[in-house]
């Protein structure tokens, strides 16, 4: 079993309820593979953490940018809590080291791992909220997410990636990107989509998400990185 005291030391937070901390890092696949351990997976905590995260980020942006319209604030928030940003922060916090995954999931270190890390960040936020309240969760979010907003705004990283990739594709290669569903998994209430973005016959990149729109945005973001059509 993982030594979760190390992650507590890393982020300087000590949980009162250690089971909540462990649950935050427990992926559904681990439960399915180790049924005898009687653990709970982190999806309910993820659901809660997503709401806490959205409120904390919304409050912060509302105060920081008093003259910005709602549309800009919504875009800033989306850029700050998307899969790429959350997975990057989770990686920097060494969340990878503490994930409880099935043997199969543990082998996948690509886009699927980014998705798991982002969800774990949300689950951890939810666990912290339950363990120590909103102020503690807000402080954690503020320490690790809020410093990123200046770069996001100054470099226009908040701009809709799908629209931006289309502009760049037309400028560089005179092709309009097309998006196709590569995989669709899960029950109707919990779908998971993998979508590929194509330039002609070339599969440029893939994206994943709980909706087709989210997966398309992820694919566009990845395509921008691969083509090095960075935002100025």
H or E stretch including 83?
helix 83-92
Pick from 129, 154, 179: which residue ends a domain? 154
Kindly list the distances between the CA atom of residue 55 and the CA atoms of 18, 28, 68, in Å, as whole numbers in the listed order. 25, 26, 18
Q: Are residues 35 and 104 in the same domain?
A: yes
Judge whether 39 and 31 are in contact, CB under 8 Å.
yes
Does residue 225 register a pLDDT over 90? no
On whether residue 113 sits in a domain, the answer given is: yes
On whether residue 232 sits in a domain, the answer given is: no
Comparing 64 with 229, which gets the higher pLDDT?
A: 64
Q: Are residues 65 and 84 in the same domain?
A: yes
CA distance 98 to 7: 8
On whether residue 221 sits in a domain, the answer given is: yes
Kindly list the distances between the CA atom of residue 150 and the CA atoms of 56, 69, 145, 217, in Å, as whole numbers in the listed order. 17, 17, 11, 21
On whether residue 144 sits in a domain, the answer given is: yes
Q: What is the pLDDT of residue 112?
A: 78
Report pLDDT digits (tens) over 146-199: 999 998 888 776 777 888 899 899 999 999 999 999 999 888 877 889 999 999
- Single out the residue of 165, 118, 145, 119 nearest to residue 56, CA to CA: 145
pTM exceeds 0.75 for this model: no
Tell me the residue range of the domain where 136 lies.
Answer: 5-154
Report pLDDT digits (tens) over 53-82: 999 999 999 999 999 999 889 989 988 998
Q: Tell me how crowded residue 112 is: count the other CB atoms within 10 A of its CB.
A: 14
CA distance 232 to 228: 11
Q: Are strands 202-209 and 178-185 parallel, antiparallel or unpaired?
A: unpaired
Report pLDDT digits (tens) over 7-55: 999 899 999 999 999 999 999 999 888 776 778 999 999 999 999 999 9
Report pLDDT digits (tens) over 112-143: 788 899 999 999 999 999 999 999 999 999 99
Comparing 138 with 209, which gets the higher pLDDT?
A: 138
Polymer length of the chain:
232
On whether residue 69 sits in a domain, the answer given is: yes
Q: Are strands 202-209 and 192-199 parallel, antiparallel or unpaired?
A: antiparallel
Confidence tier at 232 by pLDDT (50, 70, 90): very low
Residues with Cβ within 8 Å of residue 97, at least 6 apart in sequence: 2, 6, 7
Q: Kindly list the catalytic residues.
A: 50, 122
Q: Are residues 134 and 109 in the same domain?
A: yes
């Amino acid at each position: 079993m993982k030594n979760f005291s190390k992650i507590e030391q890393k982020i300087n937070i000590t949980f009162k309820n250690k089971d909540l901390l462990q649950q935050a890092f427990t992926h559904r696949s681990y439960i399915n593979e180790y049924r005898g351990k009687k653990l709970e997976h982190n999806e309910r905590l993820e659901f809660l953490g997503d709401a806490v995260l959205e409120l904390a980020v919304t409050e912060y942006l509302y105060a920081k940018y008093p003259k910005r319209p709602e549309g800009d604030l919504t875009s800033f928030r989306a850029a700050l809590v998307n899969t790429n940003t959350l997975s990057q922060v989770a990686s920097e916090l060494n969340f990878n080291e503490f994930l409880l995954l099935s043997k199969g999931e543990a082998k996948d270190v690509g886009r699927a791992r980014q998705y798991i890390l982002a969800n774990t960040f949300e689950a951890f936020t939810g666990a912290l909220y339950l363990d120590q309240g909103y102020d503690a969760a807000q402080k954690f979010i503020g320490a690790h997410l809020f410093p990123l907003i200046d770069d996001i705004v100054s470099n226009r990283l908040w701009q809709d990636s799908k629209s931006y990739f289309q502009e760049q594709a037309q400028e560089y290669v005179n092709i309009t990107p097309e998006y196709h569903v590569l995989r669709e998994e899960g029950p109707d209430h919990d779908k998971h989509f993998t979508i590929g973005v194509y330039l002609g016959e070339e599969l440029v990149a893939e994206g994943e998400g709980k909706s087709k729109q989210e997966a398309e945005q992820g694919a566009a973001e990845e395509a921008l990185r691969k083509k090095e059509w960075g935002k100025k």
